[in-house]
Chain A
Amino acid sequence: MLILRCPYCGNDVDETDLAPGGEAHIRRHGPGSTDAELTDYLFQRENPRGVHFERWRHAAGCGKWFHAARATDTLQVFGTYSAQTTEPPQEIRDAITKARPGWSWREFS
């Protein structure tokens, strides 16, 4: 069972109390953007075999959205962090680099 620490209430939360929210750090595109940008925003998804960033919600707990960094090929969790950010914080990136030197995901590394 996947267990993530909710960065808001600090609890280690079982997967059954969480709701998965898909890819993290997607930049919104609206009026004035190109077709390609809109398609990317609405439909195209990162789907790496390896390091991945996601949104989760502590649905059966404090109800807050947060971010998680996970490996999709081993289910290792690198850490969770607040939803009030547009990119993974440095300590999360460092934790990933420790386990997977040379990783990259979209523009982050």
Chain B
Amino acid sequence: MRHYSAFAVAREALRHHTGWERAWRSPEPKRRYDVIIVGAGGHGLATAYYLGKNYGIQNVAVIEKGWLGGGNTGRNTTIIRSNYLQDPSAAIYEKSRSLYEHLSQDLNYNLMFSPRGVMMLAQTQNEVRGYKRTAHANALQGVTTEWISPQRVKELVPIINLDGPRYPVLGALWQARAGTARHDALAWGYARACSAMGMDIIQQCEVTGVRSDNGHVKGVETTRGPIDCDKLGIVVAGHSGVLAEMAGFRLPIESVALQALVSEPIKPCMDVVVMANTVHGYMSQSDKGEMVIGGGADGYNNYTQRGSFHHVEETVRALVETFPMISRLKMLRQWGGIVDMTGDRSPILSKTPLGGCFINCGWGTGGFKAIPGSGWGMAQLMATGHSPLTEAFTLDRFAEGRFIDESVAAGVAH
């Protein structure tokens, strides 16, 4: 792998950019790998990366039915924060956020990580109490957040309307070191680093079956033939139920559509991320100047990556009250992704009833922020059989009643 640097840009400028090499190889699948990861989204690629980097396991294939990063990883609104309520969540999301801080250097790939600050507005008394509680919980967890007044909100976000008739701004939970990153770059950066370690990223190859023998995984069937493995990691977000069925177990997950949209680009007007959970909307401004807007998820099972229009309408209607200036903006594009929702709105990183088969799913509407931390923990789980980061997120927590209830704290897409 050729190193990216300012020097490389200058060198290539002098020779008409003929020296850039492909960021990753596109190999033919081998007959067998030590580990197969299904799904080349952020979580699958990060799992592969840390298997190689932290545990020296490099005979790994990442199998992707479409193109890498083409699932939710390439469709999300890139909010990165770690101000969750429950301790296991704080641990994995904060690990993730702190990895993001140096990930561009680590991967030698510019992720455009922008710790611009994330603000979660409190617009009802209930939310005021909830976010104050979260701020206290975060203090105990060592996650730096603070409760800020409406005046401070206005200083940070001049375009906001504090005294909307229906949803006045009563304060906010503020995490200064939270922010955004370039979603595609995260997938591409991990893919390039995995490929450089000799791992095979096999795109346009759908896993159609899981082969097992005596309760232990043996390999997978794919549209490009069977491939053997010792260990299998299922990391397919919205398609987790489909893969689980192939592997012979059930999941407490339903797949629904979640949508986002962007406006025409305008001059810089808001340099933080604002989330308004009461009205199910959130907004940030991209480097291109577009206002990036996300809203709530649909309420019924769907695999089509097309959501219902009325959710877009509801989100925009609500945000217009809090940000009156966006009422004049034209919306340019709108799209959807299929998110995997669990009952307690927390992910599953776990062994499964099938020996040697692991699953990482249930990130639902909020897993982009978690990609580095989740990959870190998942790699540890797959390599050693145990990880302190993932131990609370097992599949059997539902049967045992050990929920990690984030549905109140994060009842909105994020």
Chain A residues close to B by CB (< 8 Å)? 1-2, 15-16, 19-20, 22-23, 35-36, 38-40, 42-49, 52, 54, 72-75
Contacts and interface: CB of A to CB of B under 8 A. Distances in A.
Contacts of B7: none
A40 B251 CA distance: 9
Contacts of B133: none
Interface residues of B, number: 25
Interface in B245-291: 245, 250-255
Contact of A47 (B251, B304, B306, B398): B251
Q: 10 smallest A-B Cβ distances: which pairs?
A: A47-B241, A20-B299, A43-B252, A39-B399, A20-B300, A43-B398, A44-B250, A49-B303, A73-B303, A72-B301
A55 to B, nearest CB: 10
Contact of A72 (B240, B250, B303, B343): B303
B251 A44 contact: yes
B327 interface: no
A73 B306 CA distance: 10
Contact of A45 (B239, B252, B303, B309): B252
A35 to B, nearest CB: 6
A72 B302 contact: yes
B310 interface: yes
B23 interface: no
A38 B252 CA distance: 13
A43 B309 contact: no
Contacts of B306: 75
Interface of B: 239-242, 245, 250-255, 298-304, 306, 308-310, 343, 398-399
Nearest to A47: B241
A44 B252 contact: yes
A2 B252 contact: no
A70 to B, nearest CB: 8
A45 B251 contact: yes
Interface core residue of A23, A43, A46 (most chain B CB under 10 Å): A43
A44 B399 CA distance: 10
5 contacts: A44-B250, A47-B254, A47-B301, A49-B241, A49-B303
A46 B303 CA distance: 13
Most B CB within 10 A of own CB, among A1, A36, A72, A73: A72
Contacts of B250: 40, 44-45
B304 A74 contact: yes
A47 B255 contact: yes
Contacts of A39: 398-399
A46 B242 CA distance: 10
A48 B300 contact: no
A2 B308 contact: yes
Nearest to A39: B399
Contacts of B343: 43
Contacts of A54: 300-301
